[in-house]
């Protein structure tokens, strides 16, 4: 039992971690428990102002058990993934002293101290926007701060991987590579930063959210089915991806949009009509499209096309574009009436191809920074 004086203190840390979108996808595990992939992957980290998880972790002798709340609702921490992250961080915990609060924790005390965790996502959870990537990266990063863990980011990335595979990439900003590793214990399966978020900062990333509902097939079961049933998966992992990883790394280093877009395919009509790729697109396991424009000017033209084809159902522009809303004024759109007045894009041959209500809303983002500590 905690004494009364002990029961009064609560030590907290708060962190924020971004989500990421893969441009060379992780699909298929070689070890389900350790979350070891069958191929390397590369992602771009999105601006945490637009898509991130914010997590506060608190430790107190007054807490009788570990507990967690996600977006205000209590969730079970009993799953293997949460347990792996908690165990691995606790193992590395060190002495902590907070003179102001009069708290002294010896590293061996952490095994007995329980934590309460509260996490919020600033975007729809479980809609294929990598919320668990941001969530587990944030959990590991923030627990690491609370427990004064001294490990480098590679080690934190490897621990976050055990929560959710793609979380290992959300430990860094900019462009990130998850090296699949070869060891059976997963010790060399972690992400590295290729370039930071300032390297290619004219990219604009627009996400068309067509559904914020929980996706029907989880990535875990989708991957399992693919591993079990697809004779092509090994071919992809062993023959196709290694060459593409090299090309993608080269394209990122040189900010070579042509190669970058060619690799992840094109927004067909417009790109064809322009002759050179303007916009690249990619999808994760959910239905939401992620569009990457080479610069602000192209993103503005893209947005005019998107709004022409997908006008909002409601007369509310503010909730139809979230994230960097300033792109709307670049596109000359101040109101829903302005959207109705947009001219048909010249490359569209069939008039009035409008799909009102098919997109719930858009998020405008850009390459962003990695996790950071927030003041409590």
Residues of this chain that interact with ligand ADE (CB under 6 A) are 53, 70, 119, 121, 125, 131-132, 135-136, 139
Alpha helices in 232-295 (DSSP H): 232-235, 241-253, 257-264, 268-274
For residue 367, give Cα distances in angstroms to 204, 248, 252, 267, 276: 8, 16, 12, 20, 22
Task: Return the bridge partners of 283, or none.
Answer: 289
Closer Cβ to ligand ADE, 79 or 332, answer by number: 79
The phi, psi pair for 211, rounded to 5°, reads: -155, 135
Closer Cβ to ligand ADE, 75 or 179, answer by number: 75
Closer Cβ to ligand ADE, 157 or 304, answer by number: 157
Minimum distance of ligand ADE from residue 145's CB (angstroms): 16
The string of DSSP codes covering 28-55 is -EEETTTTEESS-EEEEEBPTTTSEEEE
Minimum distance of ligand ADE from residue 163's CB (angstroms): 7
Distance, CA of 331 to CA of 80 (rounded, Å): 47
Residue nearest to ligand ADE (CB): 135
Distance, CA of 243 to CA of 250 (rounded, Å): 11
The string of DSSP codes covering 157-224 is HHHHHTT-GGGGGGGSSSEEEEE----TT-TT-EEEEEE-TTTTTT-EEEEEES--SPPSS-HHHHHH
Minimum distance of ligand ADE from residue 45's CB (angstroms): 16
Distance, CA of 309 to CA of 329 (rounded, Å): 18
Closer Cβ to ligand ADE, 52 or 360, answer by number: 52
Distance, CA of 357 to CA of 189 (rounded, Å): 42
Q: Give the tokens for residue 142.
A: 């923030």
Minimum distance of ligand ADE from residue 69's CB (angstroms): 10
Closer Cβ to ligand ADE, 125 or 212, answer by number: 125
Closer Cβ to ligand ADE, 125 or 259, answer by number: 125
Minimum distance of ligand ADE from residue 167's CB (angstroms): 9
Closer Cβ to ligand ADE, 130 or 203, answer by number: 130
Distance, CA of 59 to CA of 7 (rounded, Å): 11
């Amino acid at each position: 039992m905690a004494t009364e004086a002990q029961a009064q203190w609560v030590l907290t840390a708060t962190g924020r971690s971004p989500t990421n979108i893969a441009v060379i996808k992780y699909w298929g595990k070689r070890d389900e428990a350790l979350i070891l992939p069958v191929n390397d992957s590369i992602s771009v980290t999105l601006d945490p102002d637009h898509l991130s998880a914010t997590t506060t972790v608190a430790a107190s002798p007054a807490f009788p058990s570990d507990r967690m709340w996600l977006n205000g609702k209590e969730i079970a921490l009993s799953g293997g993934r949460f347990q792996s992250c908690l165990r691995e961080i606790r193992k590395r915990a060190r002495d902590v002293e907070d003179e102001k609060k009069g708290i002294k924790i010896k590293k061996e005390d952490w095994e007995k101290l329980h934590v309460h965790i509260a996490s919020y996502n600033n975007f729809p959870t479980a809609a294929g926007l990598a919320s668990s990537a941001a969530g587990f990266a944030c959990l590991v990063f923030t627990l690491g701060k609370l427990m004064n863990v001294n490990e480098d980011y590679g080690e934190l990335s490897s621990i976050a991987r055990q929560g959710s595979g793609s979380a290992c990439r959300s430990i860094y900003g900019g462009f990130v590579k998850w090296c699949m590793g070869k060891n059976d214990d997963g010790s060399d399966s972690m992400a590295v930063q290729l370039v930071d978020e300032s390297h290619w900062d004219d990219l604009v990333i627009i996400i068309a959210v067509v559904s914020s509902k929980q996706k029907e097939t989880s990535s875990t079961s989708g991957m399992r089915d693919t591993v079990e049933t697809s004779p092509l998966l090994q071919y992809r992992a062993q023959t196709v991806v290694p060459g593409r990883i090299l090309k993608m790394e080269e394209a990122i280093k040189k900010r070579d949009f042509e190669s970058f877009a060619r690799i992840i395919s094109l927004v067909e009509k417009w790109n064809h009509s322009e002759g050179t790729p303007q916009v690249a697109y990619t999808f994760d396991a959910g239905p939401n499209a992620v569009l990457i424009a080479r610069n602000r000017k192209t993103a503005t033209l893209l947005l005019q096309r998107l709004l022409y084809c997908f006008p909002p159902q409601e007369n509310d522009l503010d909730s139809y574009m979230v994230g960097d809303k300033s792109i709307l004024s670049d596109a000359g759109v101040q109101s829903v009436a302005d959207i109705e007045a947009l001219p048909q894009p010249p490359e569209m041959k069939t008039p009035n191809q409008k799909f009102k209500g098919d997109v719930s809303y858009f998020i405008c983002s850009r390459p962003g920074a990695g996790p950071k500590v927030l003041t409590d």
